[in-house]
Structure 1
Amino acid sequence: MTTAALESRAGRRCHNVLNTLHATSYFSPELGQEAAALGITHPRAVNFAVRSAALGPVGAGAVTAAFYNYKHELVARHVPAVWAIAAPEDVLAARARAADASLRRLLGAEAVTSPEMAEAAHLALRATEACSRSARPLYSAHADLPVPEEPHLAYFHAATLLREHRGDGHLAVLMSAGLDGLEAVVTHTATGKGMTPTWVRATRGWSEEDWDAACGRLRERGLLNEAGELTAEGVALRAEIENETDRLDRAPYDHLGTEMVARLTELGGRFARAAAVAGAFPADLIGKG
Protein backbone atom coordinates (compact mmCIF):
# COMPACT_ATOMS: atom_id res chain seq x y z
CA MET A 1 0.00 0.00 0.00
CA THR A 2 1.34 3.40 -0.94
CA THR A 3 -0.12 6.87 -0.62
CA ALA A 4 0.67 10.42 -1.63
CA ALA A 5 -1.51 11.80 1.16
CA LEU A 6 0.75 10.99 4.09
CA GLU A 7 0.71 13.94 6.49
CA SER A 8 4.01 15.81 6.37
CA ARG A 9 5.21 14.96 9.88
CA ALA A 10 3.67 11.51 10.21
CA GLY A 11 6.92 9.80 9.33
CA ARG A 12 8.83 11.90 11.86
CA ARG A 13 6.39 11.02 14.63
CA CYS A 14 6.60 7.34 13.75
CA HIS A 15 10.39 7.45 13.66
CA ASN A 16 10.52 9.19 17.04
CA VAL A 17 8.67 6.43 18.88
CA LEU A 18 10.64 3.69 17.13
CA ASN A 19 13.91 5.45 17.87
CA THR A 20 12.96 5.89 21.52
CA LEU A 21 12.77 2.14 22.00
CA HIS A 22 16.00 1.59 20.06
CA ALA A 23 17.78 4.20 22.18
CA THR A 24 16.98 2.36 25.41
CA SER A 25 19.73 -0.09 24.50
CA TYR A 26 22.47 2.51 24.98
CA PHE A 27 21.47 3.04 28.60
CA SER A 28 20.70 -0.55 29.57
CA PRO A 29 22.84 -2.25 32.22
CA GLU A 30 22.50 -5.43 30.19
CA LEU A 31 24.55 -3.92 27.36
CA GLY A 32 27.36 -3.01 29.72
CA GLN A 33 27.31 -6.49 31.20
CA GLU A 34 27.41 -8.20 27.81
CA ALA A 35 30.21 -5.94 26.61
CA ALA A 36 32.19 -6.48 29.81
CA ALA A 37 31.95 -10.22 29.26
CA LEU A 38 33.78 -9.62 25.97
CA GLY A 39 36.39 -7.48 27.72
CA ILE A 40 35.02 -4.07 26.64
CA THR A 41 34.51 -2.03 29.78
CA HIS A 42 34.92 1.67 28.96
CA PRO A 43 31.47 3.21 28.29
CA ARG A 44 32.66 5.09 25.20
CA ALA A 45 34.31 1.97 23.79
CA VAL A 46 31.05 0.08 24.33
CA ASN A 47 29.10 2.73 22.43
CA PHE A 48 31.51 2.94 19.52
CA ALA A 49 31.78 -0.83 19.22
CA VAL A 50 28.07 -1.56 19.44
CA ARG A 51 26.91 1.06 16.98
CA SER A 52 29.70 0.63 14.42
CA ALA A 53 30.12 -3.17 14.57
CA ALA A 54 27.88 -3.63 11.53
CA LEU A 55 30.50 -1.72 9.50
CA GLY A 56 33.16 -4.30 10.36
CA PRO A 57 36.54 -3.61 12.05
CA VAL A 58 36.77 -0.04 10.78
CA GLY A 59 39.17 2.64 11.97
CA ALA A 60 38.54 5.83 13.90
CA GLY A 61 38.11 7.94 10.79
CA ALA A 62 35.17 5.92 9.53
CA VAL A 63 33.45 6.01 12.94
CA THR A 64 33.97 9.76 13.35
CA ALA A 65 32.54 10.35 9.88
CA ALA A 66 29.53 8.10 10.41
CA PHE A 67 28.72 9.34 13.93
CA TYR A 68 29.35 13.02 13.01
CA ASN A 69 29.06 14.73 16.42
CA TYR A 70 31.81 12.96 18.38
CA LYS A 71 35.25 14.51 18.78
CA HIS A 72 37.69 12.51 16.66
CA GLU A 73 40.30 12.35 19.41
CA LEU A 74 37.80 10.57 21.67
CA VAL A 75 36.92 8.07 18.97
CA ALA A 76 40.61 7.41 18.26
CA ARG A 77 41.23 6.48 21.90
CA HIS A 78 39.00 3.45 21.49
CA VAL A 79 38.85 2.63 17.77
CA PRO A 80 40.30 0.51 16.24
CA ALA A 81 41.75 -0.80 19.53
CA VAL A 82 38.36 -2.19 20.54
CA TRP A 83 38.47 -4.69 17.67
CA ALA A 84 41.57 -6.29 19.20
CA ILE A 85 39.41 -6.99 22.26
CA ALA A 86 36.32 -8.32 20.50
CA ALA A 87 35.47 -8.98 16.87
CA PRO A 88 32.52 -7.06 15.38
CA GLU A 89 30.43 -10.21 15.00
CA ASP A 90 30.86 -10.97 18.70
CA VAL A 91 29.84 -7.42 19.57
CA LEU A 92 26.71 -7.75 17.44
CA ALA A 93 25.78 -11.00 19.16
CA ALA A 94 26.31 -9.35 22.55
CA ARG A 95 24.07 -6.43 21.52
CA ALA A 96 21.32 -8.86 20.52
CA ARG A 97 21.51 -10.63 23.87
CA ALA A 98 21.43 -7.32 25.69
CA ALA A 99 18.46 -6.08 23.67
CA ASP A 100 16.58 -9.28 24.43
CA ALA A 101 17.19 -9.02 28.15
CA SER A 102 16.54 -5.27 28.43
CA LEU A 103 13.31 -5.34 26.42
CA ARG A 104 12.02 -8.19 28.55
CA ARG A 105 12.87 -6.22 31.69
CA LEU A 106 11.46 -2.89 30.50
CA LEU A 107 8.32 -4.11 28.74
CA GLY A 108 7.58 -7.37 30.52
CA ALA A 109 7.19 -10.87 29.14
CA GLU A 110 3.55 -10.35 28.21
CA ALA A 111 4.30 -7.37 25.94
CA VAL A 112 7.35 -9.00 24.39
CA THR A 113 5.34 -12.04 23.31
CA SER A 114 2.14 -10.18 22.48
CA PRO A 115 0.35 -10.09 19.12
CA GLU A 116 0.87 -6.32 19.19
CA MET A 117 4.64 -6.77 19.26
CA ALA A 118 4.47 -9.16 16.32
CA GLU A 119 2.28 -6.66 14.45
CA ALA A 120 4.67 -3.79 15.19
CA ALA A 121 7.62 -5.84 13.98
CA HIS A 122 5.78 -6.71 10.76
CA LEU A 123 4.87 -3.10 10.06
CA ALA A 124 8.32 -1.73 10.87
CA LEU A 125 10.02 -4.31 8.69
CA ARG A 126 7.62 -3.50 5.87
CA ALA A 127 8.60 0.16 6.14
CA THR A 128 12.26 -0.75 5.75
CA GLU A 129 11.53 -2.25 2.33
CA ALA A 130 11.59 1.28 0.88
CA CYS A 131 14.80 2.44 2.57
CA SER A 132 17.67 3.51 0.33
CA ARG A 133 21.30 2.47 0.74
CA SER A 134 22.78 5.36 -1.23
CA ALA A 135 25.04 7.59 0.92
CA ARG A 136 23.72 5.90 4.06
CA PRO A 137 26.62 3.87 5.50
CA LEU A 138 25.20 3.02 8.92
CA TYR A 139 21.80 2.07 7.54
CA SER A 140 23.31 0.05 4.70
CA ALA A 141 25.65 -1.87 7.02
CA HIS A 142 22.80 -2.77 9.37
CA ALA A 143 20.61 -3.74 6.42
CA ASP A 144 23.10 -6.52 5.67
CA LEU A 145 22.39 -8.14 9.05
CA PRO A 146 19.85 -10.98 9.27
CA VAL A 147 16.39 -10.28 10.64
CA PRO A 148 15.96 -11.97 14.05
CA GLU A 149 13.17 -14.52 14.37
CA GLU A 150 11.72 -13.37 17.69
CA PRO A 151 9.25 -10.51 17.14
CA HIS A 152 10.66 -8.16 19.80
CA LEU A 153 14.15 -8.53 18.37
CA ALA A 154 12.84 -8.15 14.82
CA TYR A 155 11.13 -4.95 15.97
CA PHE A 156 14.37 -3.73 17.54
CA HIS A 157 16.22 -4.57 14.32
CA ALA A 158 13.70 -2.69 12.17
CA ALA A 159 13.74 0.28 14.54
CA THR A 160 17.54 0.32 14.21
CA LEU A 161 17.32 0.31 10.42
CA LEU A 162 14.80 3.14 10.37
CA ARG A 163 16.82 5.13 12.92
CA GLU A 164 20.04 4.84 10.95
CA HIS A 165 18.27 5.54 7.66
CA ARG A 166 16.91 8.82 8.98
CA GLY A 167 20.14 9.56 10.81
CA ASP A 168 22.35 9.17 7.74
CA GLY A 169 20.08 11.50 5.79
CA HIS A 170 20.04 13.97 8.68
CA LEU A 171 23.82 14.25 8.59
CA ALA A 172 23.71 15.22 4.93
CA VAL A 173 21.23 17.97 5.82
CA LEU A 174 23.42 19.22 8.68
CA MET A 175 26.39 19.44 6.34
CA SER A 176 24.31 21.33 3.79
CA ALA A 177 23.27 23.75 6.56
CA GLY A 178 26.92 24.41 7.37
CA LEU A 179 26.78 22.95 10.88
CA ASP A 180 29.71 20.86 12.06
CA GLY A 181 29.15 18.05 14.54
CA LEU A 182 29.43 20.14 17.68
CA GLU A 183 27.44 23.06 16.27
CA ALA A 184 24.70 20.60 15.38
CA VAL A 185 24.35 19.33 18.94
CA VAL A 186 24.64 22.84 20.41
CA THR A 187 21.71 24.03 18.31
CA HIS A 188 19.75 20.85 19.02
CA THR A 189 20.29 21.28 22.76
CA ALA A 190 19.14 24.89 22.43
CA THR A 191 15.76 23.63 21.20
CA GLY A 192 15.24 21.94 24.57
CA LYS A 193 14.84 18.56 22.85
CA GLY A 194 18.47 17.47 22.68
CA MET A 195 20.79 16.13 25.33
CA THR A 196 21.99 18.56 27.97
CA PRO A 197 25.43 20.14 27.47
CA THR A 198 26.70 18.03 30.36
CA TRP A 199 25.67 14.81 28.62
CA VAL A 200 26.99 15.96 25.25
CA ARG A 201 30.40 16.83 26.60
CA ALA A 202 30.64 13.66 28.69
CA THR A 203 29.64 11.30 25.89
CA ARG A 204 30.96 13.10 22.79
CA GLY A 205 34.37 14.15 24.08
CA TRP A 206 33.97 17.93 23.78
CA SER A 207 35.40 20.28 26.39
CA GLU A 208 33.71 23.39 27.79
CA GLU A 209 36.16 25.41 25.69
CA ASP A 210 35.05 23.53 22.57
CA TRP A 211 31.42 24.17 23.48
CA ASP A 212 32.00 27.88 24.09
CA ALA A 213 33.87 28.21 20.80
CA ALA A 214 30.99 26.58 18.93
CA CYS A 215 28.54 28.93 20.65
CA GLY A 216 30.70 31.85 19.51
CA ARG A 217 30.62 30.69 15.90
CA LEU A 218 26.86 30.29 16.07
CA ARG A 219 26.45 33.78 17.54
CA GLU A 220 28.52 35.20 14.71
CA ARG A 221 26.11 33.57 12.26
CA GLY A 222 23.13 35.03 14.11
CA LEU A 223 21.82 31.62 15.11
CA LEU A 224 22.39 31.87 18.88
CA ASN A 225 22.03 34.81 21.26
CA GLU A 226 24.20 35.74 24.22
CA ALA A 227 22.03 33.62 26.56
CA GLY A 228 22.71 30.52 24.46
CA GLU A 229 19.19 30.46 23.05
CA LEU A 230 18.25 30.11 19.42
CA THR A 231 17.49 33.35 17.63
CA ALA A 232 14.59 33.55 15.18
CA GLU A 233 17.08 32.63 12.45
CA GLY A 234 18.28 29.69 14.54
CA VAL A 235 14.74 28.44 15.12
CA ALA A 236 14.03 28.72 11.41
CA LEU A 237 17.21 26.82 10.52
CA ARG A 238 16.43 23.96 12.92
CA ALA A 239 12.91 23.73 11.49
CA GLU A 240 14.31 23.68 7.95
CA ILE A 241 16.77 20.94 8.92
CA GLU A 242 14.03 18.74 10.34
CA ASN A 243 11.74 19.35 7.35
CA GLU A 244 14.49 18.46 4.88
CA THR A 245 15.33 15.37 6.94
CA ASP A 246 11.64 14.41 6.71
CA ARG A 247 11.82 14.73 2.95
CA LEU A 248 14.88 12.50 2.67
CA ASP A 249 13.28 9.97 5.02
CA ARG A 250 9.80 9.94 3.51
CA ALA A 251 10.01 6.80 1.37
CA PRO A 252 9.65 4.15 4.14
CA TYR A 253 6.51 5.79 5.49
CA ASP A 254 4.99 6.47 2.08
CA HIS A 255 5.56 2.79 1.36
CA LEU A 256 3.78 1.79 4.55
CA GLY A 257 0.81 4.08 3.95
CA THR A 258 -1.21 6.43 6.11
CA GLU A 259 -3.23 3.89 8.08
CA MET A 260 -0.34 1.57 8.80
CA VAL A 261 1.97 4.45 9.76
CA ALA A 262 -0.67 5.56 12.25
CA ARG A 263 -0.96 2.03 13.60
CA LEU A 264 2.80 1.59 13.91
CA THR A 265 3.04 4.95 15.66
CA GLU A 266 0.33 3.90 18.09
CA LEU A 267 1.98 0.56 18.88
CA GLY A 268 5.47 2.04 19.01
CA GLY A 269 4.25 4.79 21.30
CA ARG A 270 2.89 2.23 23.76
CA PHE A 271 6.19 0.38 23.92
CA ALA A 272 8.25 3.58 24.13
CA ARG A 273 6.13 4.98 26.97
CA ALA A 274 6.28 1.71 28.87
CA ALA A 275 10.07 1.64 28.57
CA ALA A 276 10.37 5.24 29.73
CA VAL A 277 8.10 4.63 32.73
CA ALA A 278 10.23 1.61 33.61
CA GLY A 279 13.27 3.91 33.93
CA ALA A 280 15.00 3.30 30.62
CA PHE A 281 16.58 6.78 30.49
CA PRO A 282 18.49 8.98 32.95
CA ALA A 283 16.29 11.74 34.40
CA ASP A 284 18.79 14.47 33.46
CA LEU A 285 19.36 13.38 29.86
CA ILE A 286 17.24 15.89 27.92
CA GLY A 287 17.06 19.67 28.22
CA LYS A 288 19.07 22.87 28.10
CA GLY A 289 20.58 22.57 31.57
Structure 2
Amino acid sequence: MTSHLPPRAGRRCHNVVNTMHSTLYFSPDLDREFGALGITDATPARLAARSAVLGAVGAGTVAAAFYNYNHELLAQHLPAVWETASPAAVLDARLRAVDATLRRLLGDGAVTSPEMAEAAELALRAAEACTRHARPLYSANADLPVPKAPHLAYWHATTLLREHRGDGHLAALLSLGLDPVEAVVSHTATGKAMSPRWFLASRGWRRSDWEAAVGRLRGRGLLDAEGELTGAGARLREELEQTTDRLDSAPYEHLGATGVERLTELARDFAVTAAGAGAFPPDLIGKG
Protein backbone atom coordinates (compact mmCIF):
# COMPACT_ATOMS: atom_id res chain seq x y z
CA MET A 1 0.00 0.00 0.00
CA THR A 2 1.29 3.44 -0.93
CA SER A 3 1.31 5.81 2.03
CA HIS A 4 0.06 9.38 1.69
CA LEU A 5 1.79 10.38 4.94
CA PRO A 6 5.30 11.72 5.54
CA PRO A 7 7.79 9.03 6.63
CA ARG A 8 7.24 7.85 10.22
CA ALA A 9 4.36 10.29 10.72
CA GLY A 10 2.16 7.58 12.22
CA ARG A 11 4.95 6.43 14.52
CA ARG A 12 5.61 9.95 15.76
CA CYS A 13 1.90 10.49 16.37
CA HIS A 14 1.58 7.21 18.24
CA ASN A 15 4.55 7.97 20.46
CA VAL A 16 3.04 11.16 21.88
CA VAL A 17 -0.51 9.76 21.98
CA ASN A 18 0.77 6.73 23.90
CA THR A 19 2.43 8.99 26.46
CA MET A 20 -0.95 10.20 27.65
CA HIS A 21 -2.31 6.67 27.94
CA SER A 22 0.74 5.59 29.96
CA THR A 23 0.33 8.24 32.64
CA LEU A 24 -2.25 6.01 34.32
CA TYR A 25 0.25 3.30 35.26
CA PHE A 26 2.38 5.70 37.29
CA SER A 27 -0.49 7.58 38.89
CA PRO A 28 -1.19 7.77 42.62
CA ASP A 29 -4.83 8.21 41.63
CA LEU A 30 -4.81 4.64 40.34
CA ASP A 31 -3.44 3.45 43.67
CA ARG A 32 -6.16 5.34 45.53
CA GLU A 33 -9.04 4.09 43.41
CA PHE A 34 -7.86 0.51 43.36
CA GLY A 35 -7.02 0.60 47.04
CA ALA A 36 -10.68 1.45 47.68
CA LEU A 37 -11.55 -1.79 45.88
CA GLY A 38 -9.18 -3.74 48.12
CA ILE A 39 -6.35 -4.02 45.56
CA THR A 40 -3.62 -2.40 47.61
CA ASP A 41 -0.48 -3.75 45.94
CA ALA A 42 0.85 -1.90 42.88
CA THR A 43 1.56 -4.98 40.77
CA PRO A 44 -1.91 -6.56 40.74
CA ALA A 45 -3.44 -3.09 40.44
CA ARG A 46 -1.60 -2.38 37.21
CA LEU A 47 -2.14 -5.87 35.85
CA ALA A 48 -5.85 -5.58 36.54
CA ALA A 49 -6.09 -2.07 35.12
CA ARG A 50 -4.90 -3.22 31.71
CA SER A 51 -6.31 -6.75 31.58
CA ALA A 52 -9.82 -6.15 32.98
CA VAL A 53 -11.12 -5.55 29.44
CA LEU A 54 -10.39 -9.23 28.74
CA GLY A 55 -12.62 -10.40 31.60
CA ALA A 56 -11.65 -12.47 34.64
CA VAL A 57 -8.65 -13.97 32.86
CA GLY A 58 -5.76 -15.93 34.28
CA ALA A 59 -2.01 -15.69 33.95
CA GLY A 60 -1.79 -17.56 30.66
CA THR A 61 -4.02 -15.16 28.77
CA VAL A 62 -2.22 -12.11 30.14
CA ALA A 63 1.22 -13.58 29.43
CA ALA A 64 0.17 -13.97 25.79
CA ALA A 65 -1.42 -10.52 25.50
CA PHE A 66 1.23 -8.54 27.43
CA TYR A 67 4.22 -10.49 26.02
CA ASN A 68 7.07 -9.29 28.25
CA TYR A 69 5.79 -10.28 31.71
CA ASN A 70 7.10 -13.37 33.47
CA HIS A 71 4.31 -15.93 33.76
CA GLU A 72 5.46 -16.74 37.31
CA LEU A 73 4.76 -13.17 38.39
CA LEU A 74 1.38 -13.12 36.66
CA ALA A 75 0.34 -16.38 38.31
CA GLN A 76 0.89 -14.82 41.74
CA HIS A 77 -1.90 -12.32 41.07
CA LEU A 78 -4.14 -13.73 38.34
CA PRO A 79 -6.87 -14.85 38.45
CA ALA A 80 -6.84 -14.21 42.23
CA VAL A 81 -7.27 -10.44 41.84
CA TRP A 82 -10.77 -10.96 40.42
CA GLU A 83 -11.86 -12.41 43.77
CA THR A 84 -11.15 -8.98 45.27
CA ALA A 85 -12.76 -6.89 42.52
CA SER A 86 -14.65 -7.82 39.37
CA PRO A 87 -13.42 -6.68 35.96
CA ALA A 88 -16.43 -4.34 35.72
CA ALA A 89 -15.56 -2.70 39.05
CA VAL A 90 -11.93 -2.39 37.96
CA LEU A 91 -12.90 -0.69 34.70
CA ASP A 92 -15.07 1.81 36.56
CA ALA A 93 -12.22 2.53 38.99
CA ARG A 94 -9.81 2.86 36.07
CA LEU A 95 -11.91 5.58 34.47
CA ARG A 96 -12.19 7.46 37.77
CA ALA A 97 -8.41 7.26 38.11
CA VAL A 98 -7.97 8.58 34.56
CA ASP A 99 -10.25 11.53 35.32
CA ALA A 100 -8.30 12.43 38.45
CA THR A 101 -4.93 11.88 36.77
CA LEU A 102 -5.62 14.10 33.77
CA ARG A 103 -7.09 16.86 35.92
CA ARG A 104 -4.07 16.74 38.22
CA LEU A 105 -1.45 16.67 35.46
CA LEU A 106 -3.06 18.98 32.89
CA GLY A 107 -5.31 21.19 34.97
CA ASP A 108 -9.05 21.71 34.68
CA GLY A 109 -8.54 24.37 32.02
CA ALA A 110 -6.86 21.94 29.62
CA VAL A 111 -9.29 19.14 30.43
CA THR A 112 -12.26 21.28 29.37
CA SER A 113 -10.50 23.12 26.53
CA PRO A 114 -11.47 23.15 22.85
CA GLU A 115 -8.07 21.59 22.15
CA MET A 116 -8.92 18.56 24.27
CA ALA A 117 -12.22 18.12 22.46
CA GLU A 118 -10.40 18.42 19.13
CA ALA A 119 -7.78 15.87 20.16
CA ALA A 120 -10.50 13.43 21.22
CA GLU A 121 -12.33 13.86 17.92
CA LEU A 122 -9.17 13.32 15.87
CA ALA A 123 -7.98 10.30 17.87
CA LEU A 124 -11.40 8.66 17.73
CA ARG A 125 -11.56 9.28 13.99
CA ALA A 126 -8.18 7.59 13.55
CA ALA A 127 -9.36 4.63 15.63
CA GLU A 128 -12.27 4.08 13.24
CA ALA A 129 -9.80 2.35 10.91
CA CYS A 130 -8.30 0.02 13.50
CA THR A 131 -8.92 -3.68 12.86
CA ARG A 132 -9.89 -6.36 15.36
CA HIS A 133 -8.42 -9.58 13.94
CA ALA A 134 -5.41 -10.90 15.90
CA ARG A 135 -5.54 -7.82 18.18
CA PRO A 136 -7.02 -8.96 21.51
CA LEU A 137 -6.24 -5.92 23.67
CA TYR A 138 -7.37 -3.43 21.04
CA SER A 139 -10.53 -5.39 20.26
CA ALA A 140 -11.51 -5.78 23.91
CA ASN A 141 -11.07 -2.05 24.55
CA ALA A 142 -13.03 -1.27 21.39
CA ASP A 143 -16.05 -3.00 22.96
CA LEU A 144 -16.15 -0.39 25.74
CA PRO A 145 -18.41 2.65 25.33
CA VAL A 146 -16.75 5.94 24.47
CA PRO A 147 -16.91 8.21 27.54
CA LYS A 148 -18.85 11.44 27.08
CA ALA A 149 -16.35 13.82 28.69
CA PRO A 150 -13.78 14.90 26.07
CA HIS A 151 -10.72 14.20 28.23
CA LEU A 152 -11.97 10.72 29.02
CA ALA A 153 -12.89 10.15 25.37
CA TYR A 154 -9.37 11.24 24.43
CA TRP A 155 -7.80 8.81 26.91
CA HIS A 156 -10.07 6.04 25.62
CA ALA A 157 -8.96 6.79 22.06
CA THR A 158 -5.29 6.83 23.08
CA THR A 159 -5.87 3.39 24.59
CA LEU A 160 -7.35 2.08 21.35
CA LEU A 161 -4.45 3.43 19.31
CA ARG A 162 -1.85 2.21 21.79
CA GLU A 163 -3.22 -1.33 21.99
CA HIS A 164 -3.77 -1.55 18.23
CA ARG A 165 -0.12 -0.76 17.60
CA GLY A 166 0.98 -2.93 20.51
CA ASP A 167 -0.89 -6.00 19.28
CA GLY A 168 0.77 -5.62 15.88
CA HIS A 169 4.15 -5.06 17.51
CA LEU A 170 3.93 -8.46 19.20
CA ALA A 171 3.45 -10.12 15.82
CA ALA A 172 6.55 -8.31 14.58
CA LEU A 173 8.56 -9.42 17.62
CA LEU A 174 7.59 -13.03 17.00
CA SER A 175 8.48 -12.84 13.32
CA LEU A 176 11.94 -11.49 14.13
CA GLY A 177 12.57 -14.06 16.84
CA LEU A 178 12.82 -11.78 19.87
CA ASP A 179 11.54 -13.36 23.07
CA PRO A 180 10.06 -11.23 25.89
CA VAL A 181 13.35 -10.38 27.59
CA GLU A 182 15.35 -10.06 24.37
CA ALA A 183 12.77 -7.60 23.08
CA VAL A 184 13.26 -5.29 26.05
CA VAL A 185 17.06 -5.73 26.24
CA SER A 186 17.43 -4.74 22.59
CA HIS A 187 15.00 -1.85 23.02
CA THR A 188 16.83 -0.61 26.10
CA ALA A 189 20.06 -0.65 24.10
CA THR A 190 18.56 2.09 21.91
CA GLY A 191 18.37 4.37 24.97
CA LYS A 192 14.66 4.97 24.39
CA ALA A 193 13.13 2.27 26.56
CA MET A 194 12.41 1.46 30.18
CA SER A 195 15.60 1.06 32.20
CA PRO A 196 16.64 -2.45 33.29
CA ARG A 197 15.82 -1.62 36.92
CA TRP A 198 12.24 -0.66 36.08
CA PHE A 199 11.78 -3.59 33.72
CA LEU A 200 13.00 -6.18 36.20
CA ALA A 201 10.97 -4.69 39.05
CA SER A 202 7.71 -4.51 37.12
CA ARG A 203 7.84 -7.56 34.82
CA GLY A 204 8.98 -10.21 37.27
CA TRP A 205 12.21 -11.28 35.60
CA ARG A 206 15.54 -11.76 37.39
CA ARG A 207 18.89 -10.14 36.65
CA SER A 208 20.06 -13.58 35.50
CA ASP A 209 17.24 -13.61 32.91
CA TRP A 210 18.43 -10.22 31.65
CA GLU A 211 22.05 -11.33 31.41
CA ALA A 212 21.05 -14.55 29.63
CA ALA A 213 19.12 -12.51 27.06
CA VAL A 214 22.15 -10.25 26.59
CA GLY A 215 24.22 -13.36 25.91
CA ARG A 216 21.76 -14.68 23.34
CA LEU A 217 21.67 -11.34 21.53
CA ARG A 218 25.49 -11.20 21.48
CA GLY A 219 25.50 -14.70 20.06
CA ARG A 220 23.28 -13.49 17.22
CA GLY A 221 25.59 -10.55 16.58
CA LEU A 222 22.98 -7.99 17.69
CA LEU A 223 24.82 -6.64 20.76
CA ASP A 224 28.52 -5.96 21.20
CA ALA A 225 30.69 -6.72 24.23
CA GLU A 226 29.57 -3.47 25.94
CA GLY A 227 25.88 -4.27 25.45
CA GLU A 228 25.42 -1.72 22.66
CA LEU A 229 23.56 -2.47 19.46
CA THR A 230 25.75 -3.59 16.61
CA GLY A 231 24.98 -2.50 13.07
CA ALA A 232 22.95 -5.69 12.66
CA GLY A 233 21.14 -4.99 15.91
CA ALA A 234 20.24 -1.45 14.87
CA ARG A 235 18.98 -2.73 11.52
CA LEU A 236 16.85 -5.38 13.24
CA ARG A 237 15.32 -2.78 15.59
CA GLU A 238 14.49 -0.55 12.63
CA GLU A 239 12.99 -3.49 10.74
CA LEU A 240 10.90 -4.21 13.81
CA GLU A 241 9.59 -0.64 13.92
CA GLN A 242 8.98 -0.52 10.17
CA THR A 243 6.98 -3.75 10.33
CA THR A 244 5.01 -2.35 13.26
CA ASP A 245 4.42 0.88 11.30
CA ARG A 246 3.06 -1.14 8.38
CA LEU A 247 0.74 -3.19 10.58
CA ASP A 248 -0.44 0.02 12.29
CA SER A 249 -0.74 2.27 9.24
CA ALA A 250 -4.53 2.12 8.78
CA PRO A 251 -5.65 4.55 11.51
CA TYR A 252 -3.18 7.25 10.45
CA GLU A 253 -3.84 6.84 6.74
CA HIS A 254 -7.54 7.13 7.58
CA LEU A 255 -6.96 10.34 9.50
CA GLY A 256 -4.85 11.82 6.71
CA ALA A 257 -1.71 13.92 6.74
CA THR A 258 -3.33 17.11 8.03
CA GLY A 259 -5.20 15.28 10.77
CA VAL A 260 -2.12 13.31 11.84
CA GLU A 261 -0.05 16.49 12.00
CA ARG A 262 -2.68 18.23 14.12
CA LEU A 263 -3.21 15.28 16.45
CA THR A 264 0.56 14.98 16.91
CA GLU A 265 0.77 18.68 17.80
CA LEU A 266 -2.06 18.50 20.32
CA ALA A 267 -0.90 15.22 21.83
CA ARG A 268 2.67 16.51 22.17
CA ASP A 269 1.48 19.60 24.04
CA PHE A 270 -0.53 17.46 26.48
CA ALA A 271 2.34 14.99 26.88
CA VAL A 272 4.89 17.73 27.61
CA THR A 273 2.58 19.29 30.19
CA ALA A 274 1.97 15.93 31.85
CA ALA A 275 5.66 15.08 31.96
CA GLY A 276 6.46 18.51 33.40
CA ALA A 277 3.90 17.88 36.13
CA GLY A 278 5.74 14.73 37.22
CA ALA A 279 3.73 12.07 35.39
CA PHE A 280 6.73 9.74 35.11
CA PRO A 281 9.67 8.79 37.35
CA PRO A 282 12.84 10.63 36.30
CA ASP A 283 14.83 7.38 35.99
CA LEU A 284 12.20 5.49 33.97
CA ILE A 285 13.98 5.65 30.60
CA GLY A 286 17.63 4.78 30.06
CA LYS A 287 20.28 2.09 29.99
CA GLY A 288 21.20 2.20 33.67
TM-score range, shorter chain: over 0.9
Instruction: Tell me what 1:112 maps to.
Output: 111
Instruction: Tell me what 1:149 maps to.
Output: 148
Code of the residue aligned with 2:121 in structure 1: it is H
Instruction: Tell me what 2:30 maps to.
Output: 31
Give TM-score scaled by structure 1 length. 0.98
Q: Distance in 2 between matches of 1:134 and 1:122?
A: 24
Q: Distance in 1 between matches of 2:41 and 2:215?
A: 32
Instruction: Tell me what 2:239 maps to.
Output: 240
The answer to whether 1:228 aligns with 2:227 is yes
Shift of 1:8: 2.5
Instruction: Tell me what 2:133 maps to.
Output: 134
5+ residue gaps, structure 1, are none
Give TM-score scaled by structure 2 length. 0.99
State the secondary structure of the residue aligned to 1:226. coil
Instruction: Tell me what 1:192 maps to.
Output: 191
Structure 1 residues 91 and 60, CA gap change in structure 2 (3 angstroms): same
CA distances 1:147-198 after superposition (whole Å, capped 9, x unpaired) = 0000000000000000000000000000000000110000000100001100
Q: Distance in 2 between matches of 1:82 and 1:58?
A: 10
Instruction: Tell me what 1:275 maps to.
Output: 274
The answer to whether 1:255 aligns with 2:246 is no
Find runs of 4+ consecutive structure 1 residues off by over 6 angstroms.
none
Shift of 1:5: 1.6
Q: Distance in 2 between matches of 1:179 and 1:4?
A: 28
CA distances 1:64-104 after superposition (whole Å, capped 9, x unpaired) = 00000011000100000000010001000001000000100
The answer to whether 1:285 aligns with 2:284 is yes
Instruction: Tell me what 1:92 maps to.
Output: 91
Shift of 1:4: 4.0
5+ residue gaps, structure 2, are none
Q: How many residues align?
A: 287
Code of the residue aligned with 2:261 in structure 1: it is A
The answer to whether 1:46 aligns with 2:70 is no
Instruction: Tell me what 1:56 maps to.
Output: 55
Code of the residue aligned with 1:108 in structure 2: it is G
Q: Distance in 2 between matches of 1:191 and 1:279?
A: 24
State the secondary structure of the residue aligned to 1:257. helix
CA distances 1:32-80 after superposition (whole Å, capped 9, x unpaired) = 1101100111111011100000000011100000000011000100000
Code of the residue aligned with 2:23 in structure 1: it is T
